[in-house]
Amino acid sequence: MLVDLARIQVIAGRGGNGCVSFRREKYVPKGGPNGGDGGDGGDVVLRVDRHVRTLLDCREAPRFEAENGGGGSGNNRTGKDGEDLVVPVPRGTVVRDAESGEVIADLTHEGQSLTVARGGRGGRGNARFATATHQAPRRADPGGPGEGRWLELELKLIADVGLVGLPNAGKSTLLSRISRARPRIGDYPFTTLEPNLGIVRLDDEREFVAADLPGLIEDAHQGKGLGLQFLRHVERTRVLALLVDAAGAEPSHDLALIEREIAAYGAGLPAKPRVVVLTKADLLAPEERTGAPQRLGLRDAHLVSAHSGDGLTALVETLWGLIANAVAEDEGTPDDR
């Protein structure tokens, strides 16, 4: 199950208390202060881990508390620092402050870390307060409290290609044919309730990640159906593949609906490169397949059949070309494929 939203509480460790202590040695009647400082409290750190795919652990156990610092002791011994608590999160996690809604960070790189709560400082021992005029201080500071806050975590999948379409447009079937992914496939709408990822391998040096996303319906940008749960994940993709059922009643109408929802949602989606894919070509009569894109008003569309495999090689090559161009533009370098 893909869990892409979680609300968590993070509490950093408290600093250890400083120590009040005096030397107690034979033949030293008036030993000076030797109380050590307390250790610092541990931080709470979010770190991207490629082995973590969802926010399930964060939702199931939403409280994360780092270790407190140890107290100081005599003979000027400093207390042990508290261990930092590292919370693994998936790549693509957006971190927000739960109270203000402010975006704190967008964790998109493997190994990227973010300290979300800092541990309290250890208190000073009485050895720190000794002066020429005050040689026997009996004062020590308590450890400082660690930071605490509530955070909202939102996972936005990172994929090269997002398969977008109405329910039952053939997105899951297409993903299962061009990759090794095995999404749930059914002959009824809304079979896909959560995004599925698959690696599409063209050859030893070329591969990309495709995401099969839940079916889009009218007014999805307002939250209808799976609405925002779907559109959130499209934001991360480099290229959109708009899937339309070639055997449907009005393919051009279906495409127009998809385009409207993408435009209404915004978030940079309208500017993404895209390709239109007419699916289920095997359901058309042989004589209807020739010139089908032009006849249906979708001149530049790819006509494919996931069932027979027709058109898939050309589609995958087109997607790779769009991805390579998008990468080149992001990096500010010419496309040297």
Q: Is the same domain home to 168 and 135?
A: no
Q: Is the same domain home to 165 and 310?
A: yes
Domain boundary among 155, 184, 205: 155
Residues 6+ apart with CB under 8 A from 168: 187, 188, 189, 191, 215, 245
Q: Is the same domain home to 139 and 217?
A: no
CA angle 154, 181, 227 (to 5 degrees): 40
Give the number of other CB atoms < 10 A from CB of residue 301.
23
Question: What's the distance, CA 318 to chain centroid?
Answer: 27
Q: Which of 242, 314, 309 is nearest to 282 (CA)?
A: 309
The answer to whether 160 and 323 have CB atoms below 8 angstroms apart is: yes
Task: Give the pLDDT confidence score for residue 296 in this predicted structure.
Answer: 78
Q: Is residue 337 part of a domain?
A: no
Task: Give the pLDDT confidence score for residue 191 in this predicted structure.
Answer: 45
Structure tokens belonging to residue 116: 């979300």
Give the CATH number for residue 25. Answer: 2.70.210.12
Task: Give the pLDDT confidence score for residue 227 in this predicted structure.
Answer: 42
pLDDT of 3-32, one tens digit each?
A: 778 999 999 999 999 999 998 877 766 678
Task: Give the pLDDT confidence score for residue 37 in this predicted structure.
Answer: 97
Q: Packing angle between helix 251-265 and helix 227-234, nearest 10 degrees? A: 80
Task: Give the pLDDT confidence score for residue 187 in this predicted structure.
Answer: 52
Q: Is residue 336 part of a domain?
A: no
Give the CATH number for residue 266. Answer: 3.40.50.300
Q: Report which secondary-structure segment, H or E, holds 256.
A: helix 251-265
Task: Give the pLDDT confidence score for residue 238 in this predicted structure.
Answer: 87
Exposure string for 163-178, b = 16+ CB within 10 A, e = fewer: bbbbbbbbbbbbbbbb
Q: Is the same domain home to 192 and 136?
A: no
Q: Is the same domain home to 170 and 247?
A: yes
Domains held by the chain: number: 2
Q: Is the same domain home to 91 and 215?
A: no
Task: Give the pLDDT confidence score for residue 50 in this predicted structure.
Answer: 83
Domain boundary among 155, 189, 219: 155
Rg over alpha carbons for the chain, rounded to the nearest Å, is 29
Q: Report which secondary-structure segment, H or E, holds 316.
A: helix 312-331
Structure tokens belonging to residue 87: 């919370």
The answer to whether 195 and 214 have CB atoms below 8 angstroms apart is: yes
pTM over 0.75? The answer is no
| Local mean pLDDT, 10-residue blocks, the chain (337 residues) | 82 97 77 93 95 87 96 94 96 92 91 96 94 89 96 86 84 86 53 68 87 64 47 78 86 86 77 90 83 80 89 93 85 49
The answer to whether 169 and 243 have CB atoms below 8 angstroms apart is: yes
3-state DSSP: the chain helix, strand, coil percent, rounded to 5? Answer: 25, 25, 50
Residues 6+ apart with CB under 8 A from 273: 238, 239, 240, 322, 325, 326
The DSSP code for 171 is H
Q: Which of 8, 10, 6 is nearest to 148 (CA)?
A: 10
Q: Is the same domain home to 213 and 324?
A: yes
Structure tokens belonging to residue 39: 């250790």
The answer to whether 89 and 46 have CB atoms below 8 angstroms apart is: yes
Q: Is the same domain home to 239 and 109?
A: no
| Strand ranges (E), 146-256 | 148-155, 161-165, 196-203, 206-212, 239-245
70: domain range?
Answer: 1-155
pLDDT of 62-115, one tens digit each?
A: 999 999 999 999 999 999 999 999 999 988 899 999 999 999 999 988 899 999
Domain boundary among 140, 155, 170: 155
- What secondary structure does DSSP assign to 241-254, as a single string? EEEEETTSS-HHHH
Distances (CA, A) of 6 to 19, 152, 170: 40, 6, 30
